[in-house]
Amino acid sequence: MAATSPLMSTYVRQPVAFTHGEGAILYDTDGKRYLDALSGIAVNTLGHAHPKLVQALREQVGRIIHSSNLFEIPLQTALGERLVALSGMTNAFFCNSGLEANEAAIKLARLHGHSRGIEKPEIIVYEKAFHGRSLATLSATGNAKVQKGFEPLVEGFVRVPLDDIGALRKLAAERPSISAVFLEAIQGEGGIHAFHLDYLRQVRELCDQQGWLLMIDEVQCGMGRTGKWFAHQWAGIVPDVMPLAKGLGSGVPVGAVLAHGKAAELFKPGNHGTTFGGNPLAMRAGLTTLQVMEEEGLLANAADVGAYLAEKLEGALKPTGMLREIRGRGLMIGVDLDRPCGDLVADALRAGLIINVTADTVVRLLPPLIFSRANADELVDKLVPLIRQLPPVKGS
Ligand SMILES: Cc1ncc(COP(=O)(O)O)c(C=O)c1O
């Protein structure tokens, strides 16, 4: 297959192609039905073929898809206004993906450092972090597999463990070159690890004291997934810089970096740019996603169905002795097992269920935010027997 494929072999793909969907359900080329508990890796916020999104996009395609940032784009201003209102930030830059949003954040941190007279500004990043696959974002990522083969890495990142405020204070005392702290409020690819809310508050305080930018990557955990618009809002803090993407366009590629205070004034004309970013089609997708999320109460739904699902999974899996821990918040759930579970992805597909496995032992669930309690019941009914059938851990 690989030898004859015209595609580069960047992915080991499951042998299934989806043709269409409705809500949390997808259908493949044979007409087989699947429950979607992944939403394209936290992308399809409104599920599949939401009538309001379909109508808005059809209408927009018939008017204008792209013009370029050389001209005014009123829909960009409108989405910027909505996002700054929801986040408590002041300005937005639109791009097309998570890594682009993070690249913009990294550039802001460097500009911020230089504005303070730091010759080689450094950014604090975290173990197990994932920020993307461009050279700068893979260098910020805390996973050697993602970095391997792409050395020399981009310099200027200093790595620390999660939730260790002492490590940060030590850097504050020892390294005057630090200009920013960069973290995911809940790490996604790394295995669904949420920072303690107290730690996030302490980091906010330390950043204020040190004049560092607090940059929170909400690419995966943002856009309502945890039951608040942005996952850091559970800690009651506001970052200086916030990259977004994934769920923002409910399937249409769109990324954004939001900034607040001094960080919002760092980019000047010529510092940064994008050809496609912020085009009218992507902006319409973002605006419609936000509108439907509000109309249908999807934040509350994510919190409610997420808690219901986590509780049901815990109840069903605890007696098996295979469950280490259920982590996450809202509809961002990691089921950490006592054994590798990569085979579950294919097992689940056979059973008509779409899930993901990350960090070897963690079943990652990222359903669309329209997921209902009935969908959650079906997920548990399908997933739990498959987990029970996993082969025992070697040596036990
Ligand atoms: C937290 C986080 N940041 C950045 C990215 C990169 O986003 P993209 O794949 O859109 O470049 C991801 C993708 O999984 C992510 O989870």
**Structure confidence at residue 3 as a pLDDT band (50, 70, 90):** low
For ligand 1, atom 16: residue with the closest CA: 220
Rounded to 10 degrees, what is the CA torsion of 311, 315, 317, 323?
60
Report residue 24 CA to chain centroid gap.
Answer: 19
Q: Does the pLDDT of residue 1 top 50, yes or no?
A: no
Confidence of residue 227 (pLDDT cuts 50, 70, 90): very high
* Ligand 1 pocket residue status of 347, Cβ below 6 Å: no
**CB of 182 closer than 6 angstroms to any ligand 1 atom:** no
Give the mean pLDDT of 6-25: 96
Check if 184 has its Cβ closer than 6 Å to any atom of ligand 1: yes
Residue 297's pLDDT is 98
Q: 379 and 353 in contact (C-beta within 8 Å)?
A: yes
- Rounded Cα distance, 102 and 218, in Å: 10
Q: At what angle do helices 165-174 and 197-210 cross, to 10 degrees?
A: 10
Per-residue pLDDT at 2 exceeds 90: no
- Nearest ligand 1 atom to alpha carbon 221: 1
CB 182 within 8 A of CB 106: yes
Whether the per-residue pLDDT at 300 is higher than 50: the answer is yes
Q: How confident is the model at residue 152 (pLDDT cuts 50, 70, 90)?
A: very high
Gyration radius (Cα) of the chain, Å: 21
Q: Is the CB of 40 under 6 A from ligand 1?
A: no
Domain extents in the chain: 18-49+297-388, 64-295
Strands (DSSP E) found in the chain: 18-22, 25-28, 33-36, 91-95, 122-126, 157-160, 178-184, 186-187, 193-194, 213-217, 241-244, 255-259, 323-329, 332-337, 353-354, 356-358, 362-365
Cβ(220) – ligand 1 distance below 6 Å: yes
Q: Is the pTM of this model over 0.95?
A: yes
Domain spanning 64-295: which CATH class is it, in words?
A: alpha beta
Q: What pLDDT score does 395 carry?
A: 63
Average pLDDT, the chain: 97
Relative to the CA of 132, which ligand 1 atom is closest? 6
Q: Is pLDDT at 264 greater than 50 in this prediction? A: yes
Residue from 128, 135, 183, 220 whose mutation best tests the ligand 1 pocket (most atoms within 8 A of CB): 220
* Nearest in space to 359 (alpha carbons), one of 383, 385, 335: 335
Q: CATH second-level architecture of 18-49+297-388? A: Alpha-Beta Complex (3.90)
Nearest one of 191, 137, 126, 193 to 165, comparing CA atoms = 126
Percent of the chain clearing pLDDT 90 (strictly above): 97
pLDDT digit string, tens, across residues 358-393:
989 999 999 999 999 999 999 999 999 999 999 987
Q: Per-residue pLDDT averaged across 337-347, rounded?
A: 97
Calculate the CA 385 to chain-centre distance: 29
pLDDT tens digits, residue range 164-187?
999 999 999 999 999 999 999 999
CA of 99 to the centre of ligand 1 (A): 6
**Closest residue to atom 8 of ligand 1, CA basis:** 98
pLDDT for the residue numbered 330: 98
Asked if pLDDT for residue 26 goes beyond 60, the answer is yes
- Residues 288, 91: Cα–Cα separation, whole Å: 20
Using CB atoms within 10 A of its CB, is residue 391 exposed (0-12), middle (13-18) or buried (19+)?
A: exposed
C-alpha 289 – ligand 1 centre gap (Å): 19
Kindly report, residue by residue over 90-106, the tens digit of the pLDDT: 999 999 999 999 999 99
Inform me whether the pLDDT recorded for 38 exceeds 50.
yes
Q: With a 6 A CB cut-off, is 206 part of the ligand 1 pocket? A: no
Q: Which atom of ligand 1 is nearest to 134's Cα?
A: 11
Angle at CA of residue 327, ends 325 and 329, nearest 5°: 155
Residue pLDDT, tens place only, 44-54? 999 999 999 99
pLDDT number for residue 393: 79
